[in-house]
Amino acid sequence: MPTPDAASSAPHSPPPARPAGYAVVGLGQLTLEEILPAFALCTHARPVALVSGDRGKALPVAREHGIDEDHVLDYEHFGDLAGLADVDVVYIVLPNHLHAEYTLKAFQAGKHVLCEKPMAVTAEECQRMMDAARAADRQLMIAYRLHHEPFNQRMAALCQEEALGPVKTIMASNCQVTKAPDIRLQAGKGGGPVSDTGIYCINACRMVTGEEPESVVALAHQPKDNPDFAEVPESVAFLLRYPSGVIAHCETSFGAAESRHLRVHCADGFIDMEAAFSYQGQRLQLRRGSPTSGPASTEELLLKPVNHFAAEMDYFAACALANQPPRTDGEMGLADVRIIDAIEQSLREGGVVRLQA
């Protein structure tokens, strides 16, 4: 039978005295369907500005969310954010290859930045983003929303507590069908399944182990008869080895039916999470023991779900207004980009690639 669990969101900064104003940059599907609607569920964050290349598209969206028309900017006038005193945070929701450019511009405008993942296309861009944050004395957070999601938080805590004994292996799968035209299928713009969906597996393994991998090896399939995958692989599988001895098997695909599953094998059982990387629908189960070694039991933990985006934006609102570093900072974003680089190196060259400590 499912067991209620009292776990709640991880501790946040003290609630701010006022809501933080967000400027959302980019009006793609994620912004329109998830991020902007989530503001209605926020306590400490509110939308006050939009940046879009299509003013005709942006104005009705602004009216729907109570944003003043004079706070709708195009990219040519992005720097005008500096003069909008009610904008505290700039949320970068642009294609991967534009993350660094507009993060730097937001810091030049004196704003804090919440940037979608992956942080950038290269490690060098990540470093420039962090340097710019320090120079501006502003905060940079990477939008790893699952760090604010109770089921993922609880799984990480169970593993750190060794609730079922030490972690031995991890299996993470994040697959979906992606068809052209889609910018995620363009290699030159930071596309591909590893940076888009595989990064969830990479980051989940860090949450579970609390470690950085020491080596990686990867294989990919890029069908030659499907023009959708002329530039990026359809599917990639990769192994990560951690200093403790934990081995993670991860797989991601743009050509497989949706599957977002995380399983952690421990010495005394395993922990399963369905819909682990989805926007909603997470289910968390613990399996203790084994039928071959004695009585086994399965327990489902019932947690109160949250809107991931609202929780994330409320959290960073508190960090920004207090000018305090967030948990999912630029260092975490850089670490994931370095792992993605190592995966791509393994695909190019074959064999195991060691990551620097």
What are 280-323's pLDDT values in tens digits? 999 999 999 876 666 678 999 999 999 999 999 999 999 999 99
Name 248's Cβ contacts closer than 8 Å, sequence gap at least 6.
169, 170, 171, 172, 201, 205, 209, 213, 239, 240, 241, 242
- DSSP codes joined into one string, 18-36: SPEEEEEE--SHHIIIIIH
* pLDDT tens sequence across 218-273: 999 999 999 999 999 999 999 999 999 999 999 999 999 999 999 999 999 999 99
Mean pLDDT value of segment 145-156 = 98
Strands 45-51, 72-73: pairing kind: parallel
Q: Is the link from the previous residue into 118 a cis peptide, with omega within 30 of 0?
A: yes
* pLDDT tens sequence across 20-38: 999 999 999 999 999 999 9
* pLDDT tens sequence across 88-147: 999 999 999 999 999 999 999 999 999 999 999 999 999 999 999 999 999 999 999 999
Catalytic (active-site) positions:
117, 200
pLDDT band of residue 16 (cuts 50, 70, 90) is confident
Percent of the chain predicted with pLDDT > 70: 94
- Return the sign of the alpha-carbon dihedral for residues 251, 254, 256, 257: positive
Structure tokens at 37: 């609607």
What does pTM read for this prediction?
A: 0.93
